[in-house]
Amino acid sequence: MTHAAALGDLRAFAEEADAGLLTPVSASPLVAALTGDRAVLAAILAVEAGWAAVLQRAGLAPAGSAAVVASAAEAGRYDLAGIALRAQGGGNPVIPLLADLRKNVAALDAAGVGAAKAVHTSLTSQDVLDTALMLLARNTVHAVLADLKGTTTALAHLAGQHADTLCVGRSLTQHSLPYTFGLRAAQWFQGVAAAGRQLENLEFPVQFGGAAGTLAAGTVLTDGSDATPFTLADALAAQLGLAPAAAPWHTNRLAITSLGHALASVLDAFGKIAADVLFLSRPEVAELAEPRAAGRGVSSAMPQKQNPVLSVLVRSAALQAPQLAAQLHVAAANFNDERPDGAWHTEWPALRQLLALALGAAGHLRELAEGLRVFPDAMRRNLDLSGPLLLAEGVSAAVAPLLEERDGLSGKQQLQDVVDQTLQAPPPEQAATYRKLFRDAVPAAVVPDARLEELLDPASYLGQAAEIARRVLAAFPEFTSPTTDANGASRG
């Protein structure tokens, strides 16, 4: 095989490099379109085209140059794999892409307007790439939020629908107290909505600092004009739909770390739900089940299996996110000098992977929440496994003050002794054992049978479960309404 043919094969592979073969959680056309290599390339070109438009409007580039640059900045004109390989020469993809952009601008400038003067003038590669990544992040976060709000709308509906559906609360893997599935759904909602609000409040600032963050070239460019480097930066922000920046932030990476933290927080909240669903959908628990879909959840060897794949994929994303967010902080803490030697470069893959994971997981979790199957009878069955012992805390609080000290034991200690003896009996016998031992310790004159049955009713010991759920939903009204998906279609 010739070298040219081998290079062609490599380029063909590179074009599919982010197809997601080993990252199924983010393997989707939407994720690829918003975070893939082609999306990065398009974002860089959008920054260059936007800058040309800003310069032309400010009278700092020839009339007609912006249209030429915009035409040359069509992503389909560029050899993605070739640019990626050539990026090794300068350490970032802007440098080889810029060389190709200038060639295309020259070829398309048939009228000779001098459009080349509008290309990259007074910018540096970090200005372009940082701004491009903000553009990429903004677009992706908008799509994440669309699915996230679909999830919270579904969870709010579950919280209301199952406000009185009894289930068992668990702590440290063991049954703890009576609970409701409505409160569980409300707590899931709270985690996702709080993280979503944090994500929604992010700003995506433009970056413009020049070669060393002093705007020296921009100052020369604007000398004698009404523009300043700062007005040009603000105009670029407006052109691209990004936030203006008071000053260059090229070595102060809060914009990046805040984004990474928000994305990781979203995936934390997603992971909590996935972990709960994975447990609650086990056959021996069977309180929940994922929505069914043809071909999903299958096993290569066991035809009877229906694996909770949506939860598995979401959890896989949640488990990867903390390390990626940590990498952004490590990079930020090592931004030495006015342009770091490697720390900046480590941000790119970590940030892009976080964006891809969040977007992929958001779509899967939305489908899970909107189609989640709930089985109240199984919840009650599991609740009843603990029998009266599940109400021991409430019984003690109500009855202990009524008991006189006996054999040196306080009322609370007497009731604890009832529980301790009950636990020695086999589980199927514990309900009857508890009632007998309780009655031996507490005569009917102190606690009548009717009152005991009230105390042993799980619905009588839910505390403020309903009010907690109501307050949670009321705290995030913007996350309880139907929303639209990333394509603008009504969902929820």
136 in Cβ contact with 40 (< 8 Å): yes
Active-site hit among 225, 299, 460, 481: 299
* Catalytic residue list contains 225: no
* Catalytic residue list contains 311: no
Question: Per residue, what are the HEC states of the chain?
Answer: CCHHHHHHHHHHHHHCCCCCCCCHHHCCHHHHHHHCHHHHHHHHHHHHHHHHHHHHHCCCCCCCHHHHHHHHCCHHHCCHHHHHHHHHHCCCCHHHHHHHHHHHHHHHCCCCCCHHHHCCCCCCHHHHHHHHHHHHHHHHHHHHHHHHHHHHHHHHHHHHHCCCCEEEEEECCEEEEEEEHHHHHHHHHHHHHHHHHHHHCCCCECCCCCCCCCCHHHHHHHCCCCCCHHHHHHHHHHHHCCECCCCCCCCCCHHHHHHHHHHHHHHHHHHHHHHHHHHHCCCCCCCEECCCCCCCCCCCCCCCCCCCHHHHHHHHHHHHHHHHHHHHHHHHHCCCCCCCCCHHHHHHHHHHHHHHHHHHHHHHHHHHHHHCEECHHHHHHHHHCCHHHHHHHHHHHHHHHHCCCECCECHHHHHHHHHHHHHCCCHHHHHHHHHHHHHHHCCCCCCCHHHHHHHCCHHHCCCCHHHHHHHHHHHCHHHCCCEECCCCCEEC
Active-site hit among 86, 170, 296, 339: 339
Q: Rounded to whole angstroms, how far apart are CA atoms 42 and 136?
A: 9
Q: Rounded to whole angstroms, how far apart are CA atoms 263 and 284?
A: 34
Active site residues: 299, 339
